[in-house]
């Protein structure tokens, strides 16, 4: 199997910054010869795959000249040779049951991008789970499983579609309050193999007046090297979705996640991502407030150690009046890690009385950690509330003294403040069990990190 992306497809080491016409031609040639149709897919899926592939061929992969990829070190991914086996038969029910939350009532399991019906909950009233390549769900509202690829600006989202091996369609019926959270396991598993790449795709349609919690658990297992996941969410009128993204990454596994969310009138999204490196993580949220009075709260907490990076790229489009958007992204950075917050709130013409907030805070626990914070605004309406802010630094001396003055020793005070920094995001997680799991996972991460920084006050 050739690499995920043939060398000439992406930028070369030397021409990372200056791609030449010759390279472009090579890209075209190589990609054209690389396209592999999937025999098991229906015509429309195959057409969509091919379409995305053709578009990807035109755009190529990002270089550092691309504003939103400026700080992303892509070469190791583009130059690596991956295998894409699709499903892993060694990922059995027994293996699955060892994962946290595998015993929950509502489950959808993707293994290397392929929907595993045998491990998932099928046939719950009002909750439809189906492989993307199965026939379309009956009575479904229009499913935008492949979004609008012609407008897609992230080549990896196109790559996901072009390399699609399967995926899952999730539909929450009109007026349904899902009685428990739906856990989606995105497993990348090598079995006995190495350098596995997967392109999982999740499409969620929350129909009118529905109420649901969906948790995406990223589970990179042994042998996993790259997961390039896409989640498309459509919230119909007055639907409400809590989307929680759990990313406990492992070393030598890079994780790209793109969410494309469309919100109809008066619908509401509350999204929290909890990220821990490992390998690099890049999250790309594109939120479109399509209908009036739509509400989107997107937040994230990252805890990084070693030499890894977390990139959060957020675009919120206010396309209709009276939309509200909230962003709160926080990172705790040690060692040589990098955290990026690159966010655009775009209020389009006519989106009057939009209300947008962007906030990024970084806690640096070492002198070599770096935070890149770039909140920006584009406003083409005149009656708008918009605020943005960014703060990067160490623990505040006054906060630290305050805790000490109550008898907490230095070590405990630092731990409490650091955990509290994270907790502001974690407390937004509405599902109790998940919030506790997230708190434990952040607490464990901090316990690993803190001893080394005990003398840095």
Please tell me whether residue 401 binds another protein under the rule CB under 8 A: yes
* Contact with another protein (CB under 8 A) among 303, 403, 431, 449: 403
Cβ-based nearer residue to another protein, 69 or 441 = 441
Helices marked H in 20-169 — which ranges? 21-34, 43-59, 75-79, 93-97, 155-162
Q: CA angle 314-316-322, nearest 5°?
A: 155
Please tell me whether residue 363 binds another protein under the rule CB under 8 A: no
* Contact with another protein (CB under 8 A) among 307, 410, 444, 448: 410
Please tell me whether residue 424 binds another protein under the rule CB under 8 A: yes
Phi first, then psi: give them for residue 372, nearest 5 degrees: -110, 120
**What tokens were used for 45?**
């899926």
Task: Report in angstroms the alpha-carbon separations of 117 from 111, 123, 130, 167.
Answer: 10, 11, 8, 11
Cβ-based nearer residue to another protein, 82 or 441 = 441
Residue 276: CB atoms within 10 Å: 24
Question: What's the CA gap between 10 and 5, in Å, rounded?
Answer: 7
* Contact with another protein (CB under 8 A) among 397, 432, 451, 455: 397
CB 140 within 8 A of CB 147: no
Nearest distance from residue 339's CB to another protein, in Å? 18
Residue 254 bridge partners (DSSP):
226
Please tell me whether residue 455 binds another protein under the rule CB under 8 A: no
Cβ-based nearer residue to another protein, 163 or 330 = 330
Looking up tokens 């997961």, which residue turns up? Answer: 227
Residues that bind another protein (rule: CB under 8 A) add up to a total of 26
Nearest distance from residue 446's CB to another protein, in Å? 12
Length of the chain as a residue count: 457
Of the candidates 307, 296, 291, 223, the one whose C-alpha atom is nearest the C-alpha of residue 259 is 296
Helices marked H in 126-249 — which ranges? 155-162
Cβ-based nearer residue to another protein, 251 or 427 = 427
Residue 36 is classified by DSSP as -
Cβ-based nearer residue to another protein, 295 or 421 = 421
Q: What is the dihedral of CA 230, 428, 119, 133, to 10 degrees?
A: -30
Please tell me whether residue 44 binds another protein under the rule CB under 8 A: no
**Which range touches another protein (CB under 8 A), out of 116-124, 258-266, 339-347, 396-404?**
396-404
Please tell me whether residue 297 binds another protein under the rule CB under 8 A: no
Helix (H) / strand (E) element for 439: namely: helix 432-449
Please tell me whether residue 432 binds another protein under the rule CB under 8 A: no
Residue 421, judged by CB atoms within 10 A of its CB (0-12, 13-18, 19+), counts as: buried
Please tell me whether residue 427 binds another protein under the rule CB under 8 A: yes
Nearest distance from residue 301's CB to another protein, in Å? 10
Cβ-based nearer residue to another protein, 55 or 417 = 417
Question: What's the CA gap between 325 and 289, in Å, rounded?
Answer: 9
Q: Kindly provide the residue ranges of all beta strands, DSSP E only, lying in 29-139, ordered along the sequence.
A: 106-111, 114-115, 127-131
Please tell me whether residue 383 binds another protein under the rule CB under 8 A: no
Please tell me whether residue 440 binds another protein under the rule CB under 8 A: no
* Contact with another protein (CB under 8 A) among 122, 412, 454, 456: 412
Nearest distance from residue 422's CB to another protein, in Å? 7
Nearest distance from residue 406's CB to another protein, in Å? 4
Nearest distance from residue 407's CB to another protein, in Å? 4
Please tell me whether residue 359 binds another protein under the rule CB under 8 A: no
Question: What's the CA gap between 323 and 292, in Å, rounded?
Answer: 6
Please tell me whether residue 447 binds another protein under the rule CB under 8 A: no
Please tell me whether residue 146 binds another protein under the rule CB under 8 A: no
Binding site for another protein (CB under 8 A): 396-399, 401-410, 412-413, 416-417, 419-424, 426-427
């Amino acid at each position: 199997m050739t690499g995920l992306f043939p060398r000439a497809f992406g930028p070369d080491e030397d021409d990372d910054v200056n791609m030449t016409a010759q390279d472009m031609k090579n890209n075209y040639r190589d990609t054209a010869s690389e396209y592999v149709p999937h025999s098991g897919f229906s015509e429309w899926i195959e057409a969509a795959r091919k379409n995305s592939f053709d578009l990807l061929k035109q755009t190529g992969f990002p270089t550092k000249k691309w504003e939103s990829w400026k700080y992303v070190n892509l070469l190791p991914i583009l130059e690596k040779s991956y295998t894409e086996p699709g499903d892993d038969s060694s990922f059995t029910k027994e293996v699955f049951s060892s994962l946290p939350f595998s015993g929950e009532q509502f489950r959808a399991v993707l293994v290397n991008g392929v929907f595993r019906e045998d491990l998932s909950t099928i046939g719950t009233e009002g909750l439809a789970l189906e492989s993307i390549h199965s026939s379309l769900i009956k009575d479904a509202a229009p499913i935008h499983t492949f979004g609008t690829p012609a407008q897609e600006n992230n080549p990896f989202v196109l790559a996901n579609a072009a390399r699609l091996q399967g995926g899952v369609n999730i539909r929450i019926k009109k007026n349904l309050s899902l009685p428990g959270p739906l856990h989606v396991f995105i497993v990348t598993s090598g079995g006995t193999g190495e350098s596995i790449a997967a392109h999982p795709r999740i499409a969620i349609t929350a129909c009118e007046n529905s109420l649901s919690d969906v948790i995406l658990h990223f589970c990179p297992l042994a042998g996993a090297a790259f997961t390039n996941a896409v989640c498309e969410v459509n919230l119909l009128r007055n639907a409400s979705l809590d989307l929680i993204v759990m990313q406990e990454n492992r070393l030598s596994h890079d994780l790209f996640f793109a969410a494309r969310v469309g919100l109809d009138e008066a619908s509401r999204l509350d999204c929290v991502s909890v990220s821990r490196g490992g390998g690099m993580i890049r999250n790309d949220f594109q939120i479109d407030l399509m209908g009036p009075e739509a509400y989107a709260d997107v937040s994230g907490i990252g805890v990084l150690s070693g030499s890894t990076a977390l990139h959060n790229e957020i675009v919120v489009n206010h396309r209709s009046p009276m939309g509200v958007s909230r962003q709160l992204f926080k990172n705790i950075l040690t060692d040589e890690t990098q955290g990026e917050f690159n966010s655009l709130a775009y209020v389009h013409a006519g989106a009057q009385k939009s209300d947008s907030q962007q906030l990024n805070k970084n806690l640096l626990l070492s002198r070599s950690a770096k935070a890149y914070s770039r909140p920006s605004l584009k406003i083409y309406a005149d009656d708008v509330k918009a605020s943005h802010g960014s703060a990067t630094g160490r623990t505040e001396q006054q906060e630290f003294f305050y805790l000490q003055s109550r008898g907490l020793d230095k070590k405990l005070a630092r731990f409490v403040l650091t955990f509290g920094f994270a907790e502001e995001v974690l407390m937004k997680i509405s599902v109790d069990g998940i919030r506790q799991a997230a708190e434990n996972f952040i607490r464990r991460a901090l316990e690993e990190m803190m001893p080394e920084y005990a003398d840095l006050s």
